[in-house]
């Protein structure tokens, strides 16, 4: 391997590590979005049930329901934007990695029997 190929190869390794880190961020965001949706749904059901008199909520529980609803909205919004940014960064890194792979002079390696590997 010559010096010209060392730069792109190191950059590819760095991009692959970045893509892996972004995949973890994306997975975390998806989990938090799901939890936020559940919290909003549960809080919404409690509030609607209390409004229609189906269940009686004491003020503390009603406060917790509203806090859960607002917290769910905040977590959902924050993680949705983070998810979008991470997905865009992943696409850009994958594109750059593909471009770098295209610049490397790849060689065909002969097999043990002298044949070519495919």
What's the CA gap between 91 and 75, in Å, rounded? 24
Structural domain includes residue 112: no
Structural domain includes residue 79: yes
Q: CA of 20: how far to CAs of 11, 70, 97, 99, 100, in Å?
A: 14, 32, 13, 18, 17
What is the model's pTM? 0.75
Structural domain includes residue 108: no
Structural domain includes residue 48: yes
Residue 113: per-residue pLDDT: 61
Number of domains in the chain: 1
Question: Per-residue confidence of the chain (118 residues) as pLDDT tens digits?
Answer: 555 556 888 999 999 999 999 999 999 999 999 999 999 999 999 999 988 988 887 888 889 999 999 999 999 999 999 999 999 999 999 999 999 988 887 777 765 665 555 5
């Amino acid at each position: 391997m010559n010096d010209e190929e060392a730069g792109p190869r190191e950059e590819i390794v760095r991009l692959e590590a970045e893509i892996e880190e972004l995949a973890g961020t994306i997975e975390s965001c998806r989990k938090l979005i799901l939890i936020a949706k559940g919290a909003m749904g549960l809080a919404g059901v409690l509030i609607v049930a209390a409004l229609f008199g189906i269940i009686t909520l004491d003020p503390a529980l009603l406060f917790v329901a509203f806090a859960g609803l607002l917290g769910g909205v905040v977590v959902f919004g924050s993680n949705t934007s983070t998810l979008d940014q991470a997905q865009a960064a992943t696409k850009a890194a994958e594109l750059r990695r593909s471009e770098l792979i295209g610049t490397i002079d790849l060689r065909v390696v002969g097999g043990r029997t002298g044949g070519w590997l495919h």
